[in-house]
């Protein structure tokens, strides 16, 4: 690893932000405190200068800054500290890393005792959600029902190296995105936030896994630089001013040591709308996953048609779309799964209403959610007539394509 002011600046910026988040403080205050700790009379101005792509001129300042960031939880992993020092042109980064190892190991132990940090962003407390959710995808596992067969097959593909790739296909609004969120969040959440019968032990050593959710309906991910920078940030690896495919492949192939699953939601949007994501781009990702990271990388995509059909219809010749050896096709929930969803209502539904909801929804998740929502609202308001059924049928009308 050679000197790189840009990568040093990125790691420094990430470390400063992490300290500010951990201490619930402002970045400027953290910078001032770091500057004063280094003996800089101007406080944070030197930290701000180094964050713009400069490296401290004196080795002693590099070491003091590294120690301070470790002490305050800005640098928490040995590989992170070693990179920080190497990018600042430290002659012996491994030596100082070994010296700081007791503190870094303490952080690793503490991190192993708490859920994945991403869960707090992507999956708010279940109390923040209504009981039934129709429209946005389900992000908190407590509100996800069914798909047990698909989950077993998908997690089995990810249990051992080499991780295997999978495709989730189904019609519009069949629950593909919600299933991706469930894969990402279920193994990292406290059982106390789940229903009593929900599994969390899908993966051995689940804390080692990193999950990156890519929403291709976000146009910012439609360029190579935007997508690759996003992925590197998700992997907590340094980016560069011009993040091209070669740089991405080099750094990931060198640094990736633990299992990573990249969730590609609505990949059909990517191949149809984003010309920068062309054959050579997908071929690069295929080569990375199959040959360069010791089986530690897998892709799970969602689409409305199988990957080979998608590629053919979009005139793609990339072999990337041939590496998906398992396809899960989403249909309605099993009746028992649908019953469990309906029974989650805080106010029990009459038997006749349950039967009507199951029949009219065809056991499709979104239709179940809509009809249950409408029935619960009327029960909470004390209404006793059947008007809610008419309202429910109107609400599910835009999604009747699911019923065939």
Q: Render pLDDT for 255-275 as a digit per residue (tens, 0 to 9).
A: 999 999 999 999 999 999 999
Which comes out higher in pLDDT, residue 43 or 75? 75
Query: What is the end-to-end Cα distance of the chain in Å, rounded?
Result: 57
Q: What angle do CA 94, 100, 103 make, to 5 degrees?
A: 140
Domain ranges of the chain: 5-112, 118-329, 335-403
Lowest mean pLDDT among 75-79, 119-123, 374-378: 119-123
Taking a C-beta distance cutoff of 8 angstroms, is the pair 69, 38 a contact? no
In the predicted model, is pLDDT for residue 117 greater than 70? no
Nearest alpha carbon to residue 221 among 183, 252, 266, 259? 266
Q: How far apart are the C-alpha atoms of 74 and 195, rounded to whole Å?
A: 35
Considering the domain delimited by 118-329, tell me its CATH architecture: 3-Layer(aba) Sandwich (3.40)
Residues facing residue 298 across a β-bridge: 261
169 three-class SS? strand
pLDDT of the residue at 119: 38
Q: 306-324: per-residue pLDDT in tens?
A: 988 887 877 777 789 999 9
In the predicted model, is pLDDT for residue 245 greater than 80? yes
Q: How far apart are the C-alpha atoms of 195 and 271, rounded to whole Å?
A: 38
Taking a C-beta distance cutoff of 8 angstroms, is the pair 236, 258 a contact? no
Q: How far apart are the C-alpha atoms of 40 and 74, rounded to whole Å?
A: 19
The pair of three-digit structure tokens given for residue 108, joined into one six-digit string:
């690793």
In terms of Cβ atoms closer than 10 Å to its own Cβ (0-12, 13-18, 19+), residue 404 is exposed
Q: 57-74: per-residue pLDDT in tens?
A: 999 999 999 999 999 988
Sign of CA pseudo-dihedral 131, 344, 351, 379: negative
Q: 275-305: per-residue pLDDT in tens?
A: 999 999 999 999 999 999 999 999 999 999 9
Q: How confident is the model at residue 158 (pLDDT cuts 50, 70, 90)?
A: very high
pLDDT of the residue at 121: 39
Per-position DSSP letters for 82-123, written without gaps between them: HHHHHHTT-S-HHHHHHHTHHHHHHHHHHHHTS--THHHHHS
Residues facing residue 215 across a β-bridge: 265
Q: How far apart are the C-alpha atoms of 6 and 11, rounded to whole Å?
A: 9
Nearest alpha carbon to residue 237 among 210, 207, 264, 265? 210
CA dihedral 179, 184, 187, 192 (to 10 degrees): -80
pLDDT of the residue at 107: 60
Residue 298, H or E segment: strand 297-303
In the predicted model, is pLDDT for residue 364 greater than 60? yes
pLDDT of the residue at 1: 61
Q: 335-363: per-residue pLDDT in tens?
A: 999 999 999 999 999 999 999 999 999 99
204 three-class SS? coil
pLDDT of the residue at 78: 86
Q: Which residues contact 159 (CB under 8 A, 6 or more apart)?
A: 203, 204
Q: How confident is the model at residue 77 (pLDDT cuts 50, 70, 90)?
A: confident
In the predicted model, is pLDDT for residue 127 greater than 70? no
pLDDT of the residue at 120: 38
* 266 alpha carbon, distance to own chain's centre: 15
Q: Which residues contact 143 (CB under 8 A, 6 or more apart)?
A: 126, 129, 131, 133
Nearest alpha carbon to residue 260 among 188, 212, 216? 212
């Amino acid at each position: 690893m050679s000197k790189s002011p840009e990568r040093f600046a990125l790691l420094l910026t990430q470390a400063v932000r992490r300290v500010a988040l951990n201490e619930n403080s402002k970045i400027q205050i953290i910078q001032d405190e770091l500057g004063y700790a280094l003996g800089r009379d101007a406080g944070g101005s030197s930290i701000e200068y180094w964050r713009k792509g400069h490296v401290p001129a004196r080795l002693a300042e590099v070491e003091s800054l590294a120690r301070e960031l470790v002490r305050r939880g800005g640098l928490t992993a040995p590989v992170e500290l070693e990179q920080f020092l190497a990018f600042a042109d430290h002659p012996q980064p491994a030596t100082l890393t070994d010296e700081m190892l007791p503190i870094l190991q303490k952080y690793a132990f503490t991190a192993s005792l708490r859920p994945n940090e991403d869960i707090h962003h992507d999956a708010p407390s279940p109390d923040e959600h209504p009981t039934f959710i129709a429209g946005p995808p389900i992000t908190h596992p407590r509100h996800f029902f069914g798909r047990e067969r698909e989950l077993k097959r998908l997690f089995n593909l990810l249990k051992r190296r080499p991780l295997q790739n999978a495709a989730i296909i189904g019609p519009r609004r069949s629950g593909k995105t919600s299933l991706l969120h469930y894969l990402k969040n279920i193994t990292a959440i406290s059982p106390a936030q789940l229903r009593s019968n929900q599994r969390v032990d899908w993966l051995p050593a689940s804390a080692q896994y990193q999950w990156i959710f890519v929403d291709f309906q976000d146009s910012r991910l439609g360029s190579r630089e935007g997508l690759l920078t996003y992925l590197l940030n998700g992997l907590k690896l340094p980016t560069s001013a011009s993040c091209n495919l070669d740089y991405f492949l080099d750094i990931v192939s060198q640094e990736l040591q633990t299992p990573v699953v990249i969730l590609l939601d609505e990949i059909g949007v990517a191949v149809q709308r984003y010309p920068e994501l062309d054959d050579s781009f997908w071929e690069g990702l295929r080569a990375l996953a199959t040959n360069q990271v010791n089986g530690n990388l897998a892709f799970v995509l969602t689409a409305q048609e199988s990957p080979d059909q998608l590629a053919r219809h979009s005139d793609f010749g990339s072999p990337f779309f041939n590496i998906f050896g398992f396809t899960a096709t989403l249909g309605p929930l099993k009746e028992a799964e649908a019953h469990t969803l309906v029974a989650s209502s805080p106010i029990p539904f009459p038997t006749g209403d349950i039967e009507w909801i199951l029949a009219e929804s065809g056991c499709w998740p979104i239709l179940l959610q809509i009809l249950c929502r409408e029935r619960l609202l009327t029960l909470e308001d004390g209404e006793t007539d059947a008007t809610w059924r008419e309202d429910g049928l109107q609400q599910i009308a835009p999604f009747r394509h699911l019923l065939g």
